[in-house]
Amino acid sequence: MSTQAAAPRKTRSLHRFANPGRFLRLADATLPWLWMACALALAVGLVGAFTAPVDYQQGASVRIMYVHVPAAWLAMFTYTTIAVASAVALVWRHPLADLAARAASPVGASFTLLCLVTGSLWGKPMWGTWWVWDARLTSVLVLFFLYLGHMAIANAFDDAGRGRRAAAILALVGFVNVPIIKFSVDWWNTLHQTASVSRIGAPAIHSSMLWPLLTMALGFTLFFAAILLVRMKNELLGQRLRNLRAASLQRRGEPGAAATGQPAHAES
């Protein structure tokens, strides 16, 4: 009985944020604080990154870690966000979840590319090569292609609804790659080192290097949250603009005016 009652309540609480007007007001109120916190975390993290001691083996090349590792975490975190948003959109047909998935995809692709390039820039002096086809590097490259596929497929259909559903299914199927990335260094013999921070027991990294790394990761995550809100606002306003244009054309009696393919949301 209690489980039957819990499901509609959960759906109701999810749909409280489906109202675009409420979402826009919440985003406008949150964004200045997010940007300030992001700037502060990145500033403190950068000072820490350039004042932390150099590694006794890697020398100053260890400073690449402070941007490479947060980019890698964000690449996986963004894909996880897209997968969760896609599941919510498919199961509960939450309109903002679809927008979140579409808005996050280019951000995730950018940070995955950043992770690959900075990893390459570290690999050349440390491993003696820009690239190896080891499990970690290859699975991150696959993640980058998944992002590109997600972006392409969402816009590949004349019917925008079908495009969104196909992209959501791709996101869910592709999510299998995220644990593969995480555990690739344990499951296979890779050139890439195993986890240093997120492992059972104490992190294998000295606190003087750990705090700048975690602060930079926080800054990157806050940047993601802020840019996602801005891009979701863009998606909402773009949708509203298309609907207004279609309504305007319809009033003039022009053909094809109703073919926006966008769900009509209540604006407030």
Partner 1 sequence: MGNELFGEYAAYVWPSYGLTLLVMVGLLAVSLTRLKRLKRDLRALEQAQGGRRRRRSAADADEEA
Q: Is 147 left (phi over 0), alpha (psi -120 to 50) or beta?
A: alpha
Q: Which is nearer to partner 1, 11 or 193 (CB)?
A: 193
244 makes contact with partner 1 (CB under 8 A): yes
Tell which positions 117-156 bind partner 1, by CB under 8 A.
Answer: 117-118, 121-122, 124-125
Residue count (the chain): 268
Query: Using CB under 8 A, which of 241, 258, 259, 264 touches partner 1?
Result: 241
258 binds partner 1 (CB under 8 A): no
- Of 186-225, binders to partner 1 (CB under 8 A) are 223
Q: How far is the CB of 80 from partner 1 (least distance, A)?
A: 19
- Judged by DSSP in three states, 60 sits in helix
Q: Kindly state the smallest distance separating residue 261's Cβ from partner 1, in Å.
A: 18
Nearest CB to partner 1, comparing residues 117 and 173: 117
Q: Binding to partner 1 by residue 162, rule CB under 8 A?
A: no
Q: Is the CB of 117 or the CB of 204 nearer to partner 1?
A: 117
User: Which residues lie below 8 Å from residue 157, measured CB to CB, with a gap of 6+?
Assistant: 163, 166
Cα angle at 80 between 8 and 176, to 5 degrees? 105
Three-state DSSP state, 132: coil
Q: Tell me which residues in 54-73 interact with partner 1 (CB under 8 A).
A: 54, 59-61, 63-64, 67-68, 71
3-state secondary structure 229-261: HHHHHHHHHHHHHHHHHHHHHHHHCCCCCCCCC
Beta carbons of 108 and 78 less than 8 angstroms apart = yes
Structure token digits, residue 101? 């998935």
Residues 6+ apart with CB under 8 A from 217: 69, 70, 73
Q: Kindly indicate which of the ranges 76-84, 102-110, 139-147, 253-261 contains the residues binding partner 1, using the contact rule CB under 8 A.
A: 102-110
Bridge partners, 59 (sequence order): 55
Q: Using the rule CB under 8 A, which residue among 149, 240, 257, 261 binds partner 1?
A: 240
Q: Which of 231, 246, 260, 265 binds partner 1 (CB under 8 A)?
A: 231
User: Does position 19 bind partner 1 by CB under 8 A?
Assistant: no
**Contact between 49 and 196 (Cβ < 8 Å):** no
- State yes or no: residue 265 binds partner 1 (CB under 8 A): no
For residue 65, the one-letter residue type is: M
3-state DSSP assignment of residue 223? helix
Least distance (Å) between residue 42 CB and partner 1: 9
Q: Which residues contribute to the site for partner 1 (CB under 8 A)? A: 50-51, 54, 59-61, 63-64, 67-68, 71, 106-107, 110-111, 113-114, 117-118, 121-122, 124-125, 223, 227, 230-231, 233-234, 237-238, 240-241, 244-245, 248
